[in-house]
Amino acid sequence: MHGRPRKAPKPEDEAASSAKAQKLRALQTQFFTFHHNKIYTKEAVELSAKLLEINPESYTAWNYRKLAVEHYLNLPDCNPDSIKSVLDDELRVVENALRQNFKSYGAWHHRKWVLSKGHSSIDNELRLLDKFQKADSRNFHAWNYRRYVAESMKRSEQDELKYAEDMIYTNFSNYSAWHNRSVLLSALFEKKAGGFLLKEKVLPEEYEFIHQAIFTDPDDQSGWFYHLWLLDQTVTTDSPLLASSWPGHGSDVLLVGDRCYNGSAFSPFSALHSDSGSFPIVLYFNQPVGGVNSSTVTVECGFNKNEDLFWKPLSASNSQTAQVWVAHLKVPSSDLHSTVEVSVGHSKGIISTRGFVYSHPSMFSFKVHVQPMERDSSQVSVAENISLREENFKVYGTQSEESIIDSFDQLIIKNGHETTASNWRFEALAKEIECFRELLSLVDCKIGKLTLARLLKAYDAMSYPFANKLVHSEEVLELYSDLMKLDPTHYQFYKDEHSIVLLQKVTSSKESLLQHCFQYKDSASSAICDPICLRLNNLSLSRMGAFEKLLWVQMLDLSHNELQSIEGLEAMQLLSCLSLRNNKLRSLTTLEPLRKLKSLRILDISYNQIGDQSIDTTRYVCSSPLSHSVGSELNRDETVTSDVALINNWEAFFIFKDFNLNQLDIVGNTIADEKFKSVLVKIMPKLKQLDGKLLD
């Protein structure tokens, strides 16, 4: 166990083990006879006790004893004294079993069940726990039971905090005591108990306390885990906040049917072609929330009724809570110039998954311009034919400095009420950054570097909405690069974190983002304007992030990266063209977020690893429609059930059936043979181009 080689058993040990096994089998045979025949005599109950002394993990024996207790308690001649005697016997049996294995789930649960009957004294329980916790102070079963006992005795959290503190001073490596301390403090914060009303008074003292453990032994993980919990308590705001939106506050949106318009008053960034007669309003919260509807979010405009809007959570798990919510606002087909005002949370109902109410109402407004245009049959819409070749892109140019992504600044919601409340958070993080820089100057500690990176990220994330820049991004990137070399076992984790920080750096300002914005121009296309493509290709990205600052993107190039997942991409509701060429996508189910992108028309997933494995081991054990959320949508009444080819490619059917693609590239994947391509054509009858070839 834990890397230690097993020792060969001695002959006398083998003989003893064999004798014990033989005795256990004989007891079990006799016990099951009593159990199946519902025999609760004194002899039968004593036999179950002997069985549990040998094997405390026999759940059936514990359940049998519960039935026996209920049998005795329901006898006509049962009196308070006999009830107490029966239950005291149970406590003794549990104690004997715990002496054999004091990490027995069944024994601790049975003891809790006996106490719940209310006829036994609980005063002895803490003394018993002291014995077990001295024998093994990291026994989390005993700590869980201690919390139950303390609650039953109405023992204060402050007293239990003192006990946990004493146990920590006895052994700084006692992870269970640290964990118990975090549970107790969380309860006190939630209750807002006396002396624990404000985190800004408690958490700085806790940081000083944990420093003693970390600096005493930097290689021990117990203190580091508690520090991570403290960091989460420091940076996480209780009440959910609106982080960003699309359209942004004060922005202009131009809708021109299915064509892009190059009007002098609008930049290509604000022009949006829509053939559905509507456009999305996207709300991006800082944490998952529920309760977003027409009652809690009010949209006022002159062309649509608020109650007609349906707000939908963009959640991978299809739950009713999500960090991103979207509603589609219908617009008339005639000329329109109108202002839209969106009020969020002015009536209560938006609640985070942690149970906190959205208590800081927000409001943003934007202008909508609709200019219908007659389509010239000689012109081809850009959205119908795009070739993502290098020669078709050119740098967007600095002359557009004022028009570049006119809603970029407005996307981020600056919650001014948080500025004052966050002062203590800034101070706490600054002190911790200084402390860990000092530690790393003394010792080369991997977890110390990881903690410093997290602290710097948290400080930048907290200050960004007000400072408009990331001060520590270069240092954080360097720390994660060092960790990838120092700790190759966790390389992928560091790589993912490195990718997220890199994207945050790229999207932190107009200047840095402009370097990745290119105009698309195809000489074969006669479209009346050149769309803007955000090119995040060749950045060695393994994970996507910074979505709250990318809600405006309509054309995205993520080619030649190392992406294995595109989770979160569903937030980018304006996406009409996406290139994932030359990445490491391994299965069709990784494309699931794209099913929520109703504007997506062009998709390039060529030269990935789709089909290399016959079973998607990242999502389920066996390839079955019933094993995954995609398969749960299986409807036997659908046409697909009559087509053998589609039945055999059920995964492709449920991924692509809701797509409205004009153009798809899938060449270079193991799955992409001619038979599979014919299946795709059946699934998507509107598809016009597959792997560069026009379809009939």
Per-residue model confidence as pLDDT tens digits over 170-183: 888 888 999 999 99
With cut-offs at 50, 70 and 90, classify the pLDDT of residue 335: confident
User: Is residue 353 one of the residues assigned to a domain?
Assistant: yes
DSSP state of 303: S
Q: What is the pLDDT of residue 681?
A: 92
- Would the pLDDT of 493 be above 90? yes
Residue 87: pLDDT over 80: yes
Residue 467 banded pLDDT, cuts 50, 70, 90: low
What is the percentage of the chain residues whose pLDDT exceeds 90? Answer: 41
Q: Which tens digit of pLDDT belongs to each residue from 546-562? A: 999 999 999 999 999 99
CATH label of the domain that carries residue 354: 2.60.40.3710
pLDDT of residue 269: 58
In a domain, 286, yes or no: yes
| Strands laid side by side in the 663-665 sheet | 393-395, 517-520, 532-535, 555-557, 577-579, 602-604, 663-665, 689-690, 693-694
More confident residue, 441 or 7: 441
Mean pLDDT calculated for residue range 463-483: 83
CA triple 256-259-262, angle to 5 deg: 75
Asked whether residue 101 is assigned to any structural domain, the reply reads no
pLDDT of residue 501: 95
Domain for residue 323, yes or no? yes
User: What gap in Å lies between CA 396 and CA 382, rounded to an integer?
Assistant: 17
**Bridging pattern class, strands 577-579 and 555-557:** parallel
Could you count the other beta carbons within 10 Å of the beta carbon of residue 348? 13
Residue 454: HSE in the Cβ half-sphere, 13 Å Cα cutoff: 19
- Per-chain mean pLDDT for the chain: 83
Return left, alpha or beta for 540; rule: phi > 0 is left, psi -120 to 50 is alpha, else beta.
Answer: left
Q: Is the peptide bond before 247 cis (omega within 30 degrees of 0)?
A: yes
**Is the pLDDT assigned to residue 636 strictly greater than 60?**
no
Residue 352 lies inside a defined structural domain of this protein: yes
Average pLDDT over residues 659-680: 92
At residue 619, the pLDDT reads: 52
The Cα 5–Cα 693 span in angstroms is 60
Provide DSSP, 375-437: PPTT---GGG-----GGGEEE--GGGTTTTTTTHHHHB---THHHHHTHHHHHHHHHHHHHHH
Ramachandran class of 315: left when φ > 0, alpha when ψ lies in -120 to 50, beta otherwise? beta
- Spatial contact of 98 and 56, defined as CB atoms under 8 Å apart: yes
> 201 versus 263: which is more confidently predicted?
201
208 neighbors 168 (Cβ within 8 angstroms): no
392 vs 146 pLDDT, higher one: 146
Query: Which H or E element spans position 337?
Result: strand 336-344
Confidence of residue 621 (pLDDT cuts 50, 70, 90): very low
Whether the CB-CB separation of 9 and 17 falls below 8 Å is answered with: yes
> In this model, does residue 604 exceed pLDDT 90?
yes
* Lowest-pLDDT choice from 17-31, 357-371, 422-436: 17-31
Using the predicted structure, report yes or no on whether residue 624 has a pLDDT greater than 70. Answer: no
Convert the pLDDT of each residue in 524-533 to its tens digit.
554 445 678 8
Number of domains in the chain: 1
pLDDT, position 511: 82
pLDDT tens per residue across span 417-436? 454 557 888 899 999 999 99
Q: Check residues 656 and 262 and name the one with the higher pLDDT.
A: 656
Q: What is the pLDDT of residue 547?
A: 93
Within a domain: residue 25?
no
Question: Alpha carbon of 281 to those of 256, 278, 299: distances in Å?
Answer: 17, 10, 10
Per-residue model confidence (pLDDT) at position 644: 60
Give 339's strand partners: 367
Whether 422 is covered by a domain: the verdict is: no
Q: Please tell me the predicted confidence (pLDDT) of residue 372.
A: 67
Of 25, 62, 66, 68, give the one whose Cα is nearest residue 44: 68
State the pLDDT at residue 600.
93
Question: What distance in Å separates the CA atoms of residue 299 and residue 293, rounded to the nearest whole number?
Answer: 11
**Residue 618: per-residue pLDDT:** 52
Higher pLDDT, 637 or 127: 127
What pLDDT, on the 0 to 100 scale, is given for residue 695? Answer: 86
At residue 572, does pLDDT exceed 60? yes
Confidence at 142, pLDDT banded by 50, 70, 90: confident
- Residue with the larger pLDDT of the pair 475 and 638: 475
pLDDT at residue 379, rounded to an integer = 46
Q: Is the dihedral of CA 438, 444, 448, 452 positive or negative?
A: positive
Residue 355 lies in a domain: yes
pLDDT attached to residue 302: 82
Question: Please, what is the angle between helix 221-235 and helix 199-216, to 10°?
Answer: 160
Report whether 499 contacts 545 (CB < 8 A).
yes
CA 595 to chain centre: 19
Do the Cβ atoms of 551 and 244 come closer than 8 Å? yes
Residue 392 clears pLDDT 80, i.e. is over it: no
Supply 162's token pair: 């003192």
DSSP state of 470: -
* Structural domain for 312, as ranges: 242-375
- Tokens for 263? 């009007």
**CA–CA separation, 517 and 506 (whole Å):** 11
**What's phi and psi for 300, nearest 5 deg?**
-110, 125
